[in-house]
Copies of this chain bind each other. A is one copy, B any other.
Amino acid sequence: MYQSSQTQAAAARRGEITPAMQIVADKEKRSAEFIRDGVAAGRIVIPCNKNHRALNFTGIGRELYTKVNANIGNSSLSGTAEDELKKLASVLEYGADTVMDLSTGGDIELIRRSIISSSTIPVGTVPIYELVSRYGRNGINEANLLQIIREQAEQGVDYMTIHAGLLKKHLPVALQRKLGIVSRGGALIAAYMVENNAENPFYCAFDKILEICGEYDVTLSLGDGLRPGCLADASDSAQFGELEVLGELTKRCQQANVQVMVEGPGHIPLDQIPMNMQKERTLCNDAPFYILGPIVIDCAPGYDHIVGAMGGMIGAFNGAAMLCYVTPKEHIGLPNDDDVKRGITAFRIAAHAADVALHKPAACDQDNAISDARAAFDWEKQFALAIDPVRARAYRLNALQVSSQPDLHGSEYCTMCGPDFCSVRLSKIIKQSIKNTL
């Protein structure tokens, strides 16, 4: 049986503390041993392709701070290489922890090479997109997919989504759903299986995929090709049948010392999220759960960054390790640069809310500091401590500009209440009044 000796998992199982583990430990306010033991057990991954030179190491696992992934990438209808690099700059500025290039049109390789060379955070891809873009749907076969995976691994991709858990036996239930198969990768593979009466080629070639990933330390992200696309399809036997296969594949990765995470839904009502998180943890040996949303209602197109962040917060609180953002354009079109910023911010809020509620190390420090700044009317400090300083500052300026006293930048109140009704100002007056009567 194949076992890599070149991955973070291999090093951890030999008892080594690598520079990557030490950096992750410092960022996470944990000991290096804690990180090493988590990597050895498969509870933590550190996606770090040895050919990704610009990388700043990041750990992913439910015990660490909840991470946020941002998807960028073009389609055949929209998004130039220039657009996508602008989005990458926003991804880094707005604080996403990883980025996926999901390009499906144009010069995919050029876009990916540019992203990898500019990105200090782990870069993920979905290799079947490049395969179909290059060879068409009829080009799906084992040789082509191994070729694409090897090329991307050589270029420095840190993690790859592989839809290997979706099998022929799952299709009858999946195709009866209200929304069928909504994962792009899942739908492409399902079409291949039906049209060729063949099993999933990623499943069949899994051992060979492991060998490539083990050579470069590419982390596998086991894709959920059968995630539900609406509330009515949530938690059905197609979704959980695939998850069982992902559990088996997770164990094969871990035995091979290939780092692995598992991807999750999708559209899930709030009350079903804890059960979904628990099921992954049990079936997949506590491998990091990387979830998309979940989206908790179907009827808010234009606001799915909020809807997804709500579900993401509950997912993270119940053990998800990384949240894949959803942008306001979800279900409508390709996100632009502003959508990327809105998506990242909503999900960073969700991640932080879960980390606070889970009492992760020093999770409340930023909140306590901004509250002190609020009590002291230190507006500049509030902006500096805000998750999005640009918007916080712009909104205060905007509110002042339309007021009757636009020159109150350093004032001890805002336009919400004005001086006579400001509760924070009144609290200070009360304290002074008590001091004077003593």
Contact = CB atoms under 8 A, between A and B. Distances in A.
A54 interface: no
A434 B419 CA distance: 70
Interface in A153-176: 171, 175
Contact of A191 (B334, B366, B399, B430): B430
Contacts of A420: 76, 104, 132-133, 137
Sort chain A's interface into a size bin. Answer: 35 or more
Interface string A371-404: 1101100000011011110011011101110111
Contacts of A143: none
A77 interface: yes
A241 B160 CA distance: 54
B427 A187 contact: yes
Contact of A415 (B75, B178, B184): B75
Contacts of A313: 270, 296, 310
Contacts of A354: 270
Contacts of A394: 302
B427 A179 contact: yes
Interface stretch (A7-15, A112-120, A202-210, A227-235): A227-235
Protomer copies: 2
Interface in A291-318: 296-303, 306-307, 309-310, 313-314, 317
Contacts of A212: none
A391 B302 contact: yes
Given A75-B421, A350-B310, A357 B270 contact: yes
A93 interface: no
Contacts of A367: 230-232, 297-299
A416 interface: yes
Contacts of A419: 76
Nearest to A171: B430
Interface in A398-437: 398-400, 402-405, 408, 414-424, 426-431, 433-434
B375 A433 contact: no
Given A194-B430, A300-B386, A374-B179, A334 B416 contact: yes
Interface of A: 75-78, 104-105, 129, 132-133, 137, 171, 175, 178-184, 186-188, 190-191, 194-195, 229-232, 269-271, 296-303, 306-307, 309-310, 313-314, 317, 328-334, 336, 345-346, 349-350, 352-354, 356-359, 364, 366-368, 370-372, 374-375, 382-383, 385-388, 391-392, 394-396, 398-400, 402-405, 408, 414-424, 426-431, 433-434
21 contacts: A75-B421, A180-B423, A180-B431, A184-B417, A187-B423, A188-B426, A191-B426, A230-B368, A271-B357, A299-B367, A299-B387, A300-B387, A300-B388, A301-B395, A302-B391, A310-B313, A310-B353, A333-B396, A334-B403, A334-B416, A336-B398
Closest 8 CB pairs of A and B: A333-B399, A180-B427, A230-B371, A270-B357, A302-B391, A187-B426, A298-B367, A187-B423
